Amino acid sequence: MILPIVKYGSSTLRKKTFTIDKGDEFTQLAHNMEFTLKKAEGIGLAGPQVGVLKNLFIIDTSPMKDMGIETVEKVYYNPVILHYGDEQSYYNEGCLSIPGINEDVLRPEKIEVRYRDEYFDWHEEVLDGLVARIFQHEYDHLQGILFIDKISALRKKIIQSRLREIARNG
């Protein structure tokens, strides 16, 4: 089932999420989020973006395979960033909840993460490049943080009218 994507202006996007317990029914939600992400042709989608305040997100880089990007299609339950690398870089980010706005965001190039898989087993790994960036962007959603919170005050002022428009029509 395709889920509606929550747009900028909704208070849901500013709330912190809750841990998923092993007994929770989260498998169908994850499948619905995967369908929603594919239909929207995005590369990441977090629980709050579909109105669910649970600690999960999806990464699917398959839309970028023609650009030589490694394909990663994965659901992350209860993700945690354990360590941020020292090297940082800018990348032009967008968000399905803030359509039509892209801005350069500075983030660490490499991160060490821990998360649960669909069997509720823990995994730890080091991510770098685009997958690390998407992970950080989606992890921020779980904390109620949007990518526009990481841009300069001047850039935010420049896009303010477009943000108001999204909030009005969201």
Give a yes or no: residue 6 inside a domain: no
Range of the domain at 27: 11-169
Name the nearest CA neighbour of 129 among 82, 80, 68: 68
Tell me the two tokens of residue 6: 């929550």
Tell me the CATH number at 137. Answer: 3.90.45.10
Q: What is the count of structural domains for the chain?
A: 1
pLDDT, residue 23, reads 74
Q: Does the annotation count 73 as an active-site position?
A: no
For position 36, what pLDDT does the model report?
97
Looking at residue 1, its pLDDT comes to: 92
Contact 38, 60 (CB under 8 A): yes
Domain contains 162: yes
* Whole-number pLDDT of residue 94: 97
Measuring CA to CA, how many Å separate 150 from each of 32, 93, 121, 122, 153? 29, 11, 32, 29, 9
Domain membership flag for residue 2? no
Q: Which residues make Cβ contacts (< 8 Å) with residue 52, sequence separation at least 6?
A: 29
Alpha-carbon distance 109 to 59, whole Å?
A: 17
pTM, whole model, 2 decimals?
0.96
> Tell me, what's the pLDDT at 70?
85
Catalytic, out of 41, 70, 112, 138: 138
- In this prediction, residue 92 carries a pLDDT of 96
Could you tell me the mean pLDDT of each successive run of 10 residues in the chain, 170 residues long? 96 97 86 96 97 97 87 96 97 97 97 95 96 98 98 95 92
9 three-state secondary structure: coil
